[in-house]
Homo-oligomer: A and B are copies of this chain.
């Protein structure tokens, strides 16, 4: 397995030592792009990529993502952020600036179905997922040996009806304050509002249907029952409403009357893997802005 570790080490981010990404949401108004790009230019930054979207030209919201290069970024970033506060306040911005070379830390939650976890680990070791998989948390021991073979810590925290609250406390401790994003890679337990509140817009779930169709349990059985001709999967941020959070990505595949529930699950596993991996990649690359219950994805 060590052969893979090598690849992950020669990280994607190496050549981007001096690159940063800026995300902005604010009420729309004249002069925002000018102010931001002028600010960056003044501070010696070169804009490499810029995306922007106005929900409604008059009175709506404004969203922006900028990738820029700045020589000696690491040294200059704290000051840059401090000085940007002036621009930000003027336009009532919510904003963040992230250094590309600082890898995000992931905690992956999994139950017994392993395909989404295996996909994320494969993409990570292939160098396609530019992040650190800091830990795997599971309520089952099944994947322990596999996960640890990659040198990734595995927290086995069983969950039963009576120990649920205690288990969640242990999960919070395991995750700690250092994790950027939690991935529910077919983790089959409900997450409590308290837990969600700790990681608002930072918990990504994969639901095995084309939402909002087939909310809740056994979506493939529901799909078979309804006789749909296309099935899908949906990656979304977790909110208090079951399968109701902001949708990040969806994809589908054609099926036919010949496909029974087992076959739908088999086909679905590949859709789930691909959709979750895309959503995680976009989150890691700071491509997603959440507004109310929807996402703006700059990709």
Contacts and interface: CB of A to CB of B under 8 A. Distances in A.
Chain A binding site: helix, strand, loop or mixed by DSSP?
Answer: mixed
Contacts of A227: 246-247, 293-295
Contacts of A257: 53, 294-297
Contact of A247 (B228, B266, B296): B228
Given A37-B37, A69-B57, A295-B257, A1 B50 contact: no
B47 A52 contact: yes
Contact of A143 (B3, B48, B51): B3
A258 B53 CA distance: 7
Interface residues of A, number: 68
Contacts of A34: 34, 37-38, 40-42, 47
A220 interface: no
A30 B69 CA distance: 10
5 contacts: A34-B40, A37-B38, A47-B52, A53-B257, A211-B228
Given A3-B146, A34-B42, A229-B297, 6 more contacts: A34-B40, A50-B51, A210-B213, A210-B230, A228-B247, A257-B294
**6 smallest beta-carbon distances between A and B, as pairs:** A227-B294, A34-B41, A34-B37, A213-B213, A30-B46, A33-B37
